[in-house]
Amino acid sequence: MKVKKYVGDTIQDTIFKVKADLGADAIILNTRKYTKGGFLGLKIFGEKKVEVLAALEDEKDEGNEKTLDEINDLKNMVSNLERGWKKEEDFKENLNQNVGEIYDHLLAQGVEKEYCKNIINNIAKNLNEDEDFSKVNVNDFKKELLRIIGDGEGIKTAEKNKIVAFIGPTGVGKTTTIAKLAAKFSLEKDIEVGMITADTYRIAAVQQLKTYSDIMNIPLKVVYNEEELKETMNSDFADKDLILLDTAGSSWSDKMQLGRLKSFTNKKLIDETHLLLSLNTKKEDIDKVLNQFSNLDADKILLTKIDETTSYGDLINIRKDYDLPYSYITYGQDVPDDISEANKEDLLKYLLGDKYE
């Protein structure tokens, strides 16, 4: 801090000098009137003067200022966090106890917190005019979860020559699932089934389905393009009730491969397209898959590898943006046993575990 003394005849004069010298930021520390000189020791004959002690703070140290800003930012962050925690505590404290336990369980299962809160708030909105979420009970909550999971929709085989395509990321279980379904329909439901593979990029892929075809005695055709697919449908497989179409696995980032797939999901030709998702995939990756495959217009979502995860929250998270019905769930490598038609009660059991009943 710079401190300086100024002397003048009047206060105004002196302060004017101070401002002229130190600028508008100058601080007046003290003013004093005194008499200079005098006659015979009598001050009354002296010259009246004013002394002003003024100061100016040093230029702010930029480093210090930055640190101060950072400290303030941190303080704000901490208080925002505290507010968030408080809000969270208030939300949970006000829930019916059993609902609170399910809420915690769902978060542990990976259901997104805001989505979970919205679900409870929406139930409250529909239940009572005052929208009081503390009045939501366990049954309301479970009923809403069931509604969100939605009715399962397996393949209906009423129409003749129905063709169903299976698409999804590499290794998600498309070929194995087709083998399981082919066996189920032909053995258990006595339906004429044919299998077609459009996965011609790897010899092993065709061989994999050919092995199942031979064991199960269900015919398999290989097609390279949409034209061949049409031809097979109208000739070799014209008398089949159900045709299951296997496709090459596509990485969600492989735009070219996804482009090729488009012709095998063409609604003019294909009756139903099932997008396979594995629940042992990270939520961010599931989102990417759903995003990238969204222009292929899938009709149903088929959940695979349920046996390889213990977190079922994505059953609900998926619903935030996609309300396509779940068709089947698969839970192991065994053909044909490890597959069932999706059923909302079963899915809720997976999701709620011991909180189900």
Ligand X SMILES: Nc1nc2c(ncn2[C@@H]2O[C@H](COP(=O)(O)OP(=O)(O)OP(=O)(O)O)[C@@H](O)[C@H]2O)c(=O)[nH]1
Question: If you compute the radius of gyration of the chain from its CA atoms, what whole number of angstroms results?
Answer: 38
State how far the Cα of 167 lies from the Cα of 257, in Å rounded to an integer. 11
Stretch that binds ligand X, among 3-11, 17-25, 140-148, 305-313 (CB under 6 A): 305-313
Q: Does 174 bind ligand X (CB under 6 A)?
A: yes
SS3 label, residue 6: strand
Q: Name the minimum Å distance from CB 277 to ligand X.
A: 11
Q: Is 346 in the site for ligand X (CB under 6 A)?
A: no
Interface with ligand X (CB under 6 A), residue total 19
Least separation in angstroms between residue 191's CB and ligand X is: 22
Residue 284 main-chain phi, psi, to 5 deg: -60, -40
Confirm or reject binding of residue 278 to Mg ion (CB under 5 A).
Answer: no
Question: Which of Mg ion, ligand X, none lies near 331, with the C-beta cut-off 5 to 8 A by kind?
Answer: ligand X
| Residue given tokens 């044919």 in the structure block | 194
Place of tokens 């004013």: 50
Which residue type does 338 have? D
Rounded to 10 deg, the angle between the 344-352 and 97-108 helix axes is 90
Q: Which stretch binds ligand X (CB under 6 A): 184-192, 216-224, 302-310, 344-352?
A: 302-310
Q: Is 197 in the site for Mg ion (CB under 5 A)?
A: no
The full DSSP string for 99-151 is HHHHHHHHHHTT--HHHHHHHHHHHHHHH-TT--GGG--HHHHHHHHHHHH--
Shortest approach of ligand X to residue 199 CB, angstroms?
Answer: 6
The entry of ligand X, Mg ion, none near residue 295 (CB within 5 to 8 angstroms by kind) is: none
- Residue 117 or 174: the one with the smaller Cβ distance to ligand X is 174
Nearer to Mg ion, 109 or 250 (CB): 250
Residue nearest ligand X, Cβ-based = 249
Least separation in angstroms between CB 166 and Mg ion: 9
Instruction: Provide, rounded to whole angstroms, the least separation between the CB of residue 120 and Mg ion.
Output: 40
CB of 137 vs ligand X, minimal distance in Å: 35
The contact pattern for ligand X, residues 7-36, with x = CB under 6 A and - = no contact, is: ------------------------------
Q: At 131, list the tokens.
A: 């929208």
Binding window for ligand X (CB under 6 A); candidates: 17-25, 71-79, 169-177, 285-293? 169-177
For residues 139 and 118, give the distance between their C-alpha atoms in angstroms, rounded to a whole number: 17
User: Which of residues 110 and 173 has its CB atom nearest to ligand X in the complex?
Assistant: 173
Please select the residue that binds ligand X; options are 312, 330, 344, 351, rule is CB under 6 A. 330
Q: Is 305 in the site for ligand X (CB under 6 A)?
A: yes
Q: Is 176 in the site for ligand X (CB under 6 A)?
A: yes
Site track for Mg ion across 163-182, x = CB under 5 A: -----------xx-------
Please compute, for residue 83, the number of CA atoms within 13 A of its CA located in the half-sphere on the CB side.
Answer: 6
Contact 290, 278 (CB under 8 A): no
Find residue 326's DSSP bridge partners: 301
Taking Cα atoms as reference points, which of 260, 254, 252, 230 lies closest to residue 243?
230
Please identify which residue in 15, 205, 275, 289 interacts with ligand X, judged by CB under 6 A: 205
Q: Could you give the CA distance from residue 82 to residue 80 in angstroms, rounded to a whole number? A: 5
Map residue 32 onto helix, strand or coil. Answer: strand
CB 136 within 8 A of CB 95: yes
| For ligand X, the closer CB: 30 or 207 | 207
> Phi and psi dihedrals of 111, rounded to 5?
-70, 135
Residue 307: both structure tokens together: 């046996």
Residues in the site for ligand X, rule: CB under 6 A? 170-176, 199, 205, 249, 304-305, 307-308, 330-333, 338
Residues in the site for Mg ion, rule: CB under 5 A? 174-175
